[in-house]
Structure 1
């Protein structure tokens, strides 16, 4: 070995020794590494490691094998999670670099039932991303790390701003999520752009799958009622709005083009709208037993993928209240998520109740006063029907002695003959036995319409009146350990029940009702006491007021009606020739009675 070789070897050993000494980890680095390994061990056991994060950055360490790093988007499989906030006057969205997804959205000015800021979407449990195949592997962008182009954004008024989250495959090959926001609405814009991926996405695929999944967190006091009013709504390109089951787990495969899909809770919604439409999709809704979790909704929505350098998908979110006027202003028929009933009840609420309520709301009165005025207006409009119904009942009351005589003469053994004699009496007296029922039936759609209107009225949420703290849910001045699922008594429901019982007693005393009919009227209020006990105090308050005013109308009308005068009119009608035209009802009843008599005679001959 010559001197040069020896000198080289000595230098090499000196360099190696110095490197080992200089690169030796410090005690702090050894401690951090130990903490990392402990955290990884907890993750493998399914436990949550202790967090040392702040509000701006969340440090996440992902164990990735070399194959994943070498695969498509391999460089994005590891990274550091950061949160970028995008906010305006109405919402504050927290967007994560992991998946480039909206993790949670705070609706400003609103609170959950427990006083905490109202937040939509489920944080760490929220998923949002594109899925497709590449190089024989399934790629899900929800699990990959994006790079934001800027920091937090805050706008107001007509101002707008945007921030881009980029998922890089290679130079000039990437996926962009471009989030944009204006200062004056509940929308969060999202434009998805793919560039240079025509040869990255598997050639057998003609679409990308946009997966969105989130639990609906409890926002209202009564989670049972909230579950019954929460599900996924969607609108087809044809304009039809439909929804999955409100009461059961449900799944639906949609083959038609979709305009939007909503994760709808009782009073708030998270809606994803596509400007160009989704090419179908699959939506699921599940009820979970977990505390404070209303339901879990997930959807796979299909986006057409063209083999071109750039594909653009303009979308936007709506994060906000299910307030009919706000949703209607937004467009896309989002207001159809607010359940206003079916058939005539739906049109009554949309074209009568909502406009009148909005007009009264413009005076900025207490909502208890607004409901009071609304009830008075409705009762005045329907008073002609109430009057006609009461007059018809008075005629039947005056005829009752004669009907009792007929019953005693004919007996109860031949009901067909008895009914025929009654019809003759009605015809002679000029009385329609259904005259009291028809006006009540005409009023029934309004009564049922309010049954849908008040429980879904966002304006009542959090509004107090008298002892009621929140008109949108039940009042519970009396609580106790649950018995058969009931743990409270609603005072407003009690008042409604008492007034209904008093009104029933008065009607029975005036009409002279006897037998079973006398007692049936008492059963219904008692049944509604149990049914409506957990319904919103605003609804029970309306029914209470409605019963009070109806009772008052009946008392006034009773003073206006003279039974002796009605009796005189009936007797005068009896003296008139009986050539007047029969009503269809009378004709059908007579035909039915003749048929019954014929059948009875035939059986007697046998």
Structure 2
């Protein structure tokens, strides 16, 4: 090769290299070209090309063997989202899995003023597990073709021209329910086994002020056919197999919102799982796997209904299937007190449109008036015991403390002579206790108080952090609730006056002062509405006792007790307690005599 030829070839190489460098497509143009090639390929397989507004996911690397397998044309694609919304819900759908990607409950905000989003993101899964040719296919991993109409959206993944999976979602106006029909067309003899599995996983997001309390009230619920709803534990990670019968529905419940799935035909069996999350902004992870029958002889269709909305008792009751029993009304008999007494009265007062602080006040007054006969009997019994105390002290000084059995016998003789029931002051209080405890469950689960303010309390459904420490104090937390402090002070004052009435001494006198301090630590993070009720109950009790005190004459009671001593035994009306008292005294005397004989 001569010099001229070599020089010419060298110059040509330089020109070619320069042209490649200066005229190569930009990075954006390269992406556009790649996208066009990929789109053309996807259109041939039946997958809709993305719109400019679509969310474009990274192009996955697909094994060529997978492309030839079941739903090979649907294992790769571009993520696209669609919307359905009405007055109550805003639903975001993804063609990846053909699922509901996000749920917003309209008309409600989180404690920080943001929209209430029950779940959102790719970590949420929904689909069918299908055995096709010995290979498990999860439809959550397939790319569906979306077709949207007014109020409904269809998601389809093609196995062949006349063989496909189709999800049809339907949202009616002003409804919290979303209909779902899952159609498996022409897949009989292709799907193996006589059952298929529905898988739903969701990470529930934080909505309330106290994530700790929200976690305590969040749990997966489920209901067997012809049985009461039940739930998994709330304090730790739990997985439970549901094998005791067909499953009518299950729900991913938070404190004040729920996402429930109700099949037209009950699930054959299944399992539920819950994991407590520690990531900021997240409450719990829920997972469900439900078994459904599959007929190999024909195409299959499964009808279902989602409920996305509030845990308001009446709203859940409107859905049917006892969904309202997700609202924790307490244990027996507390739940019956709350459901059939407290809640109807609360709803009646609510119908007047008053502020909820006023409603709680009126509810407390009505309860105290209804319980006033028991309060009166309790006060009267404690007054009798207080009046008898000097005589009991004389007996104690005479008998001494070395013989407690004999001392108790002498006390019982005195009670019998004057006609006093020593438990008379306790029994009325015990009868009132279920109502006091019922409110402990009622207010923390009452949706109506959510976001409602009264006085300085911005939200009656959570604590009022009147003082913020910025650090945690053992048993107290990082704040101090003013209403809880007022409740504690009123309880201490109530204890003081109660000791004056009953004449309590010794350890019993001081135990009453310890309990309110303990409750300060326990109730400091509970709803301000609950502490407000307990505060009002104490104040109204003060008023009741003041009125009763003006009606009760201690000197008259003392005369009556002394007169009872002089009455013949046959004139005294023997109560059931008196009969038991006599039997007890007789047994004690026989025991003492036997012990003396043995000595």
- Unpaired runs of at least 5, structure 1: 1-20, 37-51, 154-160
Determine whether 1:410 maps to 2:399.
Answer: yes
Distance 1:35 1:528 in 2: 67
Compute the displacement of 1:582 (Å): 4.3
Give the match for residue 446 of structure 2.
457
Give the match for residue 96 of structure 1.
94
Distance 2:72 2:269 in 1: 30
Determine whether 1:222 maps to 2:220.
Answer: no
Give the match for residue 520 of structure 1.
511
Secondary structure at the aligned position of 1:365 is classed as coil
Give the match for residue 62 of structure 2.
64
Secondary structure at the aligned position of 2:264 is classed as strand
Give the match for residue 180 of structure 1.
170
CA contact (8 A) 2:217 2:234 kept: yes
Give the match for residue 487 of structure 2.
496
- CA change 1:269–1:536 in 2 (3 A) is same
- CA change 1:175–1:25 in 2 (3 A) is farther
Q: 1:144 aligns with which of 130, 136, 142?
A: 142
Q: 1:549 aligns with which of 537, 540, 556?
A: 540
Compute the displacement of 1:344 (Å): 1.5
Determine whether 1:83 maps to 2:81.
Answer: yes
CA contact (8 A) 1:259 1:278 kept: yes
Distance 1:175 1:116 in 2: 36
Q: 1:272 aligns with which of 256, 261, 270?
A: 261
Per-residue CA distance 1:183-219 (angstroms, 9 max, x = gap): 12211111111111112112xx111100000111111
Secondary structure at the aligned position of 1:238 is classed as coil
Superposition pairs for residues 385-400 of structure 1, below 5 Å?
A: 385-400=374-389
Secondary structure at the aligned position of 2:252 is classed as strand
Secondary structure at the aligned position of 2:369 is classed as helix
CA contact (8 A) 2:409 2:588 kept: no
Q: 2:124 aligns with which of 126, 133, 139?
A: 126
Distance 2:381 2:538 in 1: 20
Compute the displacement of 1:477 (Å): 1.3
Secondary structure at the aligned position of 2:339 is classed as helix
Q: 1:380 aligns with which of 363, 366, 369?
A: 369
Distance 1:585 1:567 in 2: 21
Distance 1:511 1:385 in 2: 16
Secondary structure at the aligned position of 1:294 is classed as strand
Distance 2:563 2:33 in 1: 105
CA contact (8 A) 1:419 1:593 kept: no
Question: Which has the higher mean CA deviation after the structures are superposed, 285-294 or 469-478?
Answer: 285-294
Give the match for residue 536 of structure 1.
527
Give the match for residue 564 of structure 1.
555
Give the match for residue 195 of structure 1.
185
Question: Which has the higher mean CA deviation after the structures are superposed, 117-126 or 97-106?
Answer: 117-126
- CA change 1:126–1:564 in 2 (3 A) is same
Distance 1:312 1:578 in 2: 82
Compute the displacement of 1:512 (Å): 2.1
CA contact (8 A) 1:58 1:83 kept: no
Superposition pairs for residues 328-343 of structure 1, below 5 Å?
A: 328-343=317-332
Secondary structure at the aligned position of 1:124 is classed as coil
Compute the displacement of 1:351 (Å): 0.6
CA contact (8 A) 2:276 2:285 kept: yes
What TM-score does the superposition give when structure 2 sets the normalisation length? 0.90
Distance 2:324 2:196 in 1: 29
Determine whether 1:251 maps to 2:200.
Answer: no
RMSD: 2.2
Secondary structure at the aligned position of 2:80 is classed as strand
- Unpaired runs of at least 5, structure 2: 1-19, 36-49
Stretches of 4+ aligned residues off by more than 3 angstroms: 28-31, 33-36, 52-60, 580-606
What TM-score does the superposition give when structure 1 sets the normalisation length? 0.89
Q: 1:169 aligns with which of 154, 159, 164?
A: 159
Compute the displacement of 1:598 (Å): 4.6
Give the match for residue 225 of structure 2.
237
CA contact (8 A) 1:416 1:597 kept: no
Aligned pairs, how many? 561
Compute the displacement of 1:595 (Å): 4.2
Secondary structure at the aligned position of 2:352 is classed as coil
- CA change 1:211–1:222 in 2 (3 A) is same
CA contact (8 A) 2:412 2:585 kept: no
Compute the displacement of 1:332 (Å): 0.8
Secondary structure at the aligned position of 2:280 is classed as coil
Compute the displacement of 1:60 (Å): 4.3
Compute the displacement of 1:122 (Å): 3.3
CA contact (8 A) 1:76 1:145 kept: yes
Distance 2:28 2:524 in 1: 62
- CA change 1:524–1:585 in 2 (3 A) is same
Compute the displacement of 1:54 (Å): 8.0
Superposition pairs for residues 439-458 of structure 1, below 5 Å?
A: 439-458=428-447
- CA change 1:591–1:416 in 2 (3 A) is farther
Distance 2:94 2:190 in 1: 25
Per-residue CA distance 1:305-347 (angstroms, 9 max, x = gap): 0113321111010000100010011111000000001112111
Distance 2:449 2:225 in 1: 33
Secondary structure at the aligned position of 1:527 is classed as helix
Determine whether 1:473 maps to 2:471.
Answer: no
Distance 1:25 1:79 in 2: 28
Distance 1:35 1:595 in 2: 98
Give the match for residue 484 of structure 1.
474
CA contact (8 A) 2:421 2:577 kept: no
